[in-house]
Structure 1
Amino acid sequence: MFKRKICGITTVEDATAMIAAGADALGLNFYRQSKRYLNAGIAADVREAISADAAVVGLFVNADVVDVVATAKRLALDWIQLHGDESPDYLARLRHLGAPPVLKAFRCGPDWRKEMIEFLSRCSARDCSPAAVLVDGFQQDAYGGTGHPADWKSLADWSQWLTIEHLVLAGGLTPGNVAAAIAAVQPSAVDTASGVEIEPGKKDSSLATRFCANATAAMGM
């Protein structure tokens, strides 16, 4: 399981720089409405620039299952991150088609914890549970990448009720607050996009280096 994920990589230069900064996972965003959408024309070049010891995560939002699997195979993705309203049946279809491990995102909106538990229970019954979950901040009509923090307090006891082994914490994480977030939640990994950017889709090497160093220290690695 990766520990320090930086999402929204849009250029070869940023892919190389984020690995050098200490990220052990990079997210490629294939949601066309996102400001961090990765153009299909350069996706292969970006993928090739990522070293073999870093995980490559493809982010999708309510995309066609066949297209997701095709993209995953074409780019040799290590993970599929689902950030939309995908159902347990959707995960079952991915499993049937031989997709990589799934990272399912949930936003801390109204009744999010109950909805997550019910969702995972239904997945378990279908034998299609995600390999990990990601908890993000909530903003109406937005599928992540908003910079809004998740509810750390409500996640403090996640290991006692979550049926999934790994929880990735996202939502407004920056070099300045990632250590506090890790101390409060004790997640399996942390994920940032806007927290290490100059502008959406353009990363800052200095911020990324500080983010990764602070996360590593807080995790006791």
Structure 2
Amino acid sequence: MKIKVCGMRDAENISELVKLKPDYMGFIFYGKSKRFVSDFPQVEIPSEIKKVGVFVNESFDEVIEIVEKNKLDAIQLHGNESPDYCEELKVLMIRPVEIFKAFSVDDNFDFSKTLAYQKCCDYLLFDTKGKEYGGNGVKFNWQVLDNYKGETPFLLSGGIAKVDAAEIKNISHKAFAGIDINSGFEIEPALKNIKDIKEFKQNL
């Protein structure tokens, strides 16, 4: 099971998280986020931990500039980006990167909306529908994941906390690839409780 820890910013906190070897580490390049990264932390992150830039309805030029400047390995699109946008972004990238497309899910979410993204995205990310584009700290009803019939693997996000390890282990969906954790492990925005993440990772 892949683990992505999103909303990182503090250099010392990042260095501590590196020791736990998550699969992905996320950095939010969306100005309205409480976890916005204006200057990328100057921390050595080993190549086996993939660096993900999170963007919301951003221009191609801005995404490409940030990805190249910070040598990011993946792009997470957390806004209203279309399948055509995802396709074109992949073509425009100077070097190969993974594309994640996030969807805001509630009890009434229509999973057929994800079908057009199957070929242009490496992963889908199912987050809780809320006031913000992400980081709302609330879980959705995970039973609705059964309505997802696509082949593209997905990460589960939205309010995941330490107490959820056992329930996560019971998810048997064939496309379930991992989890994306953020606000449920925070001391304050963009500062993670490393001890809790370590315990959670062990429980998984």
One fold, TM greater than 0.5? yes
Instruction: Check the 8 A contact 2:106/2:140 in 1, yes or no.
Output: no
More helix by share: 1
Number of the residue aligned with 1:163: 151
State how far apart, in whole Å, the 2-side matches of 1:101 and 1:145 are.
21
State how far apart, in whole Å, the 1-side matches of 2:202 and 2:187 are.
19
Asked whether 1:132 is paired with 2:123, we answer: yes
- Number of aligned residues: 200
More strand by share: 2
Which of the numbers 65, 74, 87 marks the counterpart of 1:79?
A: 74
CA offset at residue 44 of structure 1? 5.1
Which of the numbers 78, 88, 92 marks the counterpart of 1:93?
A: 88
Which of the numbers 33, 45, 48 marks the counterpart of 1:50?
A: 45
State how far apart, in whole Å, the 2-side matches of 1:145 and 1:68 are.
20
Q: 1:185 to 1:112 in 2, by over 3 A?
A: farther
Instruction: Check the 8 A contact 2:11/2:41 in 1, yes or no.
Output: no
- In the TM superposition, structure 1's runs of 4+ consecutive aligned residues that sit over 2 Å from their partners are 109-114, 117-121, 184-187
Number of the residue aligned with 1:219: none
State how far apart, in whole Å, the 2-side matches of 1:178 and 1:200 are.
22
- Please, which runs of 5 or more residues in structure 1 have no aligned partner? 216-221
Report the 3-state secondary structure (helix = DSSP H, G, I; strand = E; otherwise coil) of the residue aligned with 2:100.
Answer: strand
Number of the residue aligned with 1:31: 30
Alignment-mate amino acid for residue 196 of structure 1: F
* RMSD after superposition: 1.9
Number of the residue aligned with 1:189: 178
- Give me the identity figure in percent: 29
Alignment-mate amino acid for residue 195 of structure 2: S
Asked whether 1:151 is paired with 2:141, we answer: yes
TM-score relative to the length of structure 1: 0.83
Alignment-mate amino acid for residue 87 of structure 1: S
TM-score relative to the length of structure 2: 0.89
Q: 1:182 to 1:171 in 2, by over 3 A?
A: farther
